[in-house]
Amino acid sequence: MANQIFVNLPVADLQNSIAFFSKIGFTFNPQFTDDKSTCMIIGPNIYAMLLVKERFKDFTKKEISDAHKTTEVLLAIDVPTRDAVDEMVRKAIEAGGTTYMEPQDHGWMYQHSFADLDGHQWEMIFMDESLLPKA
C-alpha cells in the first residue's frame, strides 16, 4: 500500500503558478521548493510537484503535452461540502483559471471543474456516499 502520492505537473511560470494556487488556498512545502519546482500540499500525504518545463524534462524522455490542447490527466479532489466545491472553482476563476465543464449534480456526488494557468484540469467533488444508489 502506498503512503503518499506526488503528482508531477509541468508549468510555464513557477511563480505565477504558486500565486494562482495560493489564491485558491493551497500551501507549499518550502523544503521542496526552489527556482525550478515546488511541492504543493493538497492534503495529508497528497502533493503536486509543480515543475518548470525544463526541470520536468529531467524526469521523462517523452514530449511534454500542452494541457491547453490535450488532456493528460484529470485531477479529482474530494472536498468536505458542495459549497467548498463552488468556492474553490470561484477562487480559481478569480485567480485567472477557466472552467471547462458546467457543474454536475448526480445526487450523491456534486462536481465542478477548472483549468489552471497551464491548462491542467482539476475536478472538485463532494460525495455523500449515504445517497449512493444501492446496486
pLDDT in tens, 20-74: 999 999 999 999 999 999 999 999 999 999 999 999 999 999 999 999 999 989 9
Q: Is the pLDDT of residue 135 over 80?
A: no
User: What total of structural domains would you count in the chain?
Assistant: 1
Query: Where are the alpha helices (H) located in 41-81, listed in sequence order?
Result: 53-56
pTM of the model: 0.92
- In contact, 117 and 21? CB cutoff 8 Å: no
DSSP 40: E
* pLDDT mean across residues, the chain: 96
pLDDT in tens, 47-61: 999 999 999 999 999
Long-range contact set of residues 102-109: C-beta below 8 Å, sequence gap at least 24: 107/131, 107/133, 108/132, 108/133
Tell me, what CATH number does 19's domain have? 3.10.180.10
- In contact, 47 and 8? CB cutoff 8 Å: no
Neighbour tally for 30: CB within 10 Å: 9
- Find the domain containing 76 and state its range: 5-131
